[in-house]
Structure 1
Amino acid sequence: MSLSPSSGPDAVPPTTAPPRIFDAGRREARLARSERRLTQADFLHVRAAENAVGSLEAILRDFPVAVDLSAHPGPFARALASSEAADRVGRIVAPTSRAERAAPGRDALPLEDGTTDLIVSLLNLHWANDLPGALAQIRRALKPDGLFLGALFGAGALKELRAVLTEAELAERGGAQARVSPFADGYDGAALLQRAGFALPVSDVDRFVVRYPDMFALVRDLRAMGETNVLHGPIRPLNRAIISRAAHLYAERYGDADGRISATFEIIHLAGWKPHESQQKPLPRGSAKVRLADALGVKELTGEEGDPA
């Protein structure tokens, strides 16, 4: 497999530039700092990797060439190594450029069209300015009937932190900046895959709560993962009064009886296939041979039965 920019007949010509939501330079700097500390807080990446490997275990086919586009490639390789699916996945290529991982979809993937059997992207795509475009690049790089497995944070992630930071800054300054990134809605996952040209799209939402001693421990974990604010534009630093008020609000509203706080995380898991003629396809509308009511053994109501009273 050659690592060269995507091109060819399946390439989509550039259109209007997407809105710039995230700053790629800031994201790259966050990733660089987090690489030294990820092991202190890699539980979300491990969870996403184990889910992806679990999906592979249920698919009885080989993937000779795999590419890992994850924010931090290590967790997927480690989870796969101890899995029964390891023998079905060949060499794993991970592009070495941190810039490629910092801004998904901004530049052409370093992959030739139709050269890859499996592409994995874990906890990275929520930083894409053009998420459908980034997914379309992945689809083009796959071979026909190639598989994509992805995971990104969903809209429910860090809802408590978002709320207290906004309220605290409004109280102290009379206005508030966005401090937690906007995330995709979990119910949009399959539609995003379809829009990017994937077949047989599947989306699943994993929502769970993690307990911390306080808000500061939560923020330390986010920094260790490289998941702190990289929104585009000037960022006005939070002062001590805002941070103190936010921590107090967090403990007051989301604290438990033992003094610990709760933080909600939401991970959207995606799976989709590069279209191929061998894949199952829905029957044409109106081609059914049996009425649904007959198959279920019930009486079909047409709405013209009148008032039963």
Structure 2
Amino acid sequence: MASGAAAAARRLLLLRHRRRHLVPNHHFSSSSADEVLDGGRVKIFDRDLKRRHRDRAAWAMRETDPLVDAVADNLLDRLEDCRKAFPSALCLGGSAGAVRRSLRGRGGIEKLTMMDMSVDMVNRWRELESATEDGPEMNFIVGDEEYLPIKENSQDLIMSCLGLHWTNDLPGAMIQCRLALKPDGLFLAAILGGETLKELRIACTIAQMEREGGISPRMSPLAQVRDAGNLLSRAGFALPGVDVDRYTVKYNSALELVEHLRAMAETNALFQRSPILERDTALATAAIYQSMFGLEDGTIPATFQVLYSSK
């Protein structure tokens, strides 16, 4: 990526087409991606691999990232719509570091617990916090959103910024969040939606068909807008709200995009995945991406759709 926060900020285009959605009366359907059964439970994602991705991201992530900082800031905007304070708050994995950077006293949070499945990520957060002199009382724990190690009725606020879409049982994870909340608590989540990286998906599919004669799962299945409200309803949240934002980020090349995804720990963690992307296929993907979506200034755009859920 280009060095410097200013250069990174210039590449970020916030095309924020926000829409408010009523909760649809749809049943959530599982992805068509291959699934692994473990003791009767469906497992789409390799959580151990995702933990290793987050170990790597702990040392690859930037001190500031315009995309994740914008998502975190927009998530925290919901706190300004609330008249009450939230003394105790839990922030789950994903881009929790960006949430901490963007907090700036919002929500009346007195004690903030940050949790991640990666020991390296938690240690990284702890190191960064040691250089911060103000803010709420901080607590750091290692834990997995699929088996939330938090007592029931203990939190006023639970936030998840770009993390829950990697859980194998998203409604189950949300149920655990609901149980950990106090009766009048607030749940806020931002997850990547199905239009995310649509340009890369198209380019990779065409390249695989041309070079390999077929396609294999290279990218994660993501929730659609119609599913988001129903997920909250299934988890037992009453009258949930869902907003949708779309962000476009400009990169100098497809390789630069992939490096950013690695720094965000957003690379492929499907159980049924091809272990190696052939070099010819990778080069063809980059060339097709540039040919189909390249802009006049030589950069390529990448779409990130974010579903904001609150209750």
TM-score interval, normalised by the smaller of the two chains = 0.7 to 0.9
| Residue number among 114, 120, 125 corresponding to 1:94 in the alignment | 114
**2:211 alignment partner in structure 1:** 172
Do residues 186 (structure 1) and 195 (structure 2) align?
no
Q: Deviations over 1:119-161 (max 9, x none)?
A: 0011001101111111111001101011000000000000111
**2:192 alignment partner in structure 1:** 153
| Residue number among 195, 211, 235 corresponding to 2:234 in the alignment | 195
Question: Separation in 1 of the partners of 2:142 and 2:42?
Answer: 19
- CA contact 2:252–2:298 (8 Å) conserved in 1: yes
Equivalent residues in 2 for 1:46-65, closer than 5 Å: 46-65=69-88
Shift of 1:205: 0.7
Q: Percent identity?
A: 38
The runs of 5 or more residues in structure 1 that have no matched partner are 1-15, 273-309
Do residues 72 (structure 1) and 111 (structure 2) align?
no
- Where does structure 1 differ by over 6 angstroms across 4 or more consecutive aligned residues? 99-102
Alignment RMSD: 2.0
- CA contact 1:139–1:198 (8 Å) conserved in 2: yes
Do residues 19 (structure 1) and 39 (structure 2) align?
no
**1:230 alignment partner in structure 2:** 269
TM-score by length of structure 1 reads: 0.77
Question: Separation in 1 of the partners of 2:251 and 2:64?
Answer: 12
- CA contact 1:65–1:91 (8 Å) conserved in 2: yes
Q: Aligned pair in 2 of structure 1 residues 131, 238: CA closer, same or farther (>3 Å)? A: same
Q: Aligned pair in 2 of structure 1 residues 17, 67: CA closer, same or farther (>3 Å)? A: farther
- CA contact 2:87–2:111 (8 Å) conserved in 1: yes
The one-letter code matched in structure 2 to 1:104 is E
| Residue number among 121, 126, 145 corresponding to 1:104 in the alignment | 145
Shift of 1:97: 4.2
Shift of 1:171: 1.4
- CA contact 2:52–2:118 (8 Å) conserved in 1: no
Question: Separation in 1 of the partners of 2:142 and 2:287?
Answer: 35
**1:5 alignment partner in structure 2:** none
SS class of match (1:266): strand
Shift of 1:45: 2.2
The runs of 5 or more residues in structure 2 that have no matched partner are 1-38, 120-140
Question: Separation in 2 of the partners of 1:124 and 1:77?
Answer: 15
Equivalent residues in 2 for 1:250-261, closer than 5 Å: 250-261=289-300
**2:133 alignment partner in structure 1:** none
- CA contact 1:101–1:124 (8 Å) conserved in 2: no
Shift of 1:55: 0.7
| Residue number among 98, 104, 118 corresponding to 2:157 in the alignment | 118
Q: Aligned pair in 2 of structure 1 residues 101, 172: CA closer, same or farther (>3 Å)? A: farther
SS class of match (1:200): coil
The one-letter code matched in structure 1 to 2:145 is P
Question: Separation in 1 of the partners of 2:142 and 2:171?
Answer: 16
Higher Cα Rg, which structure: 1
The one-letter code matched in structure 2 to 1:186 is V
| Residue number among 159, 173, 176 corresponding to 1:134 in the alignment | 173
SS class of match (2:201): helix
- CA contact 1:68–1:93 (8 Å) conserved in 2: yes
**1:208 alignment partner in structure 2:** 247
Question: Separation in 2 of the partners of 1:261 and 1:271?
Answer: 32
Question: Separation in 2 of the partners of 1:97 and 1:221?
Answer: 20
Compare relative contact order (CA 8 Å, sep 6+) and give the higher one, 1 or 2.
2
- CA contact 2:246–2:305 (8 Å) conserved in 1: yes
- CA contact 2:216–2:273 (8 Å) conserved in 1: no
